Amino acid sequence: MRRAEFVTAAVLALMSVYLMWKSSELEIGYITGEGPGGGAWPFWLSGIMLICTGFIAVNCYRRTSPPSQSTEPFLDSYGKKMLLLVGGGIFGFIALVSIISMYGAMFVFLIYYLRFLGRHTWTLTMTIATSVPIVFFFFFEALMRITLPKGMKFLEPIFNYLNTIIY
């Protein structure tokens, strides 16, 4: 935990420096007669962030913050596995959206989570995995008129057919 606190502070410090550098593309000073320039707000706030990470590191060194006193590992084997399975699952879900559409990706993700992580029965899994995309489709496309991603070209005929039903 203590090492993680240090490493995180260092990463956030680097990020702050990057943000300061990026902000300086615009005027960061005080323009006479006009007030602060376009980059001033993010630049100086990132500066404060940098200072904060310094304090966080000092607190960590002096062991005054709870995470720096903890001897527990930052991510134990359960945490790592969880992050990989659940976080990775969401990652896969989002990646699939551009390929098999939001609705298809939803279907696959629900099967993955319910059946393989949740260990629910196939009946329950398939009921939820099919009904959720259908309800979402009618809610978003027909009722709210918000079009969600439709995936790659090969799915077009299916959605064109569905469109003839709802419009």
- In terms of residues, how long is the chain? 167
- Of positions 41, 69, 99, 122, contacts other proteins by CB under 8 A: 41
**Separation of alpha carbons 67 and 58, rounded Å:** 13
CB of 122 to other proteins, least distance (A): 14
The answer to whether 27 and 4 have CB atoms below 8 angstroms apart is no
CB of 106 to other proteins, least distance (A): 5
- 162 token code pair: 């569905």
Q: For residue 125, how far is the Cα from the chain centroid?
A: 25
Q: Does 28 sit near other proteins (CB under 8 A)?
A: no
Long-range pairs, 128-135, Cβ under 8 A, ≥24: 132/106, 132/107, 133/103, 133/104, 133/106, 133/107
Number of residues binding to other proteins, judged by CB under 8 A: 87
The answer to whether 101 and 77 have CB atoms below 8 angstroms apart is no
- 153 token code pair: 């070209």
- Of positions 10, 14, 29, 55, contacts other proteins by CB under 8 A: 55
Residue ranges in 96-155 that form contacts with other proteins under rule CB under 8 A: 97-98, 102, 106, 109-110, 113-114, 117-120, 124, 128, 132, 134-136, 138-150
- Of positions 32, 71, 77, 123, contacts other proteins by CB under 8 A: 32
CB of 154 to other proteins, least distance (A): 13
Q: Does 165 sit near other proteins (CB under 8 A)?
A: yes
- Of positions 83, 84, 122, 130, contacts other proteins by CB under 8 A: 83
- 24 token code pair: 């300086």
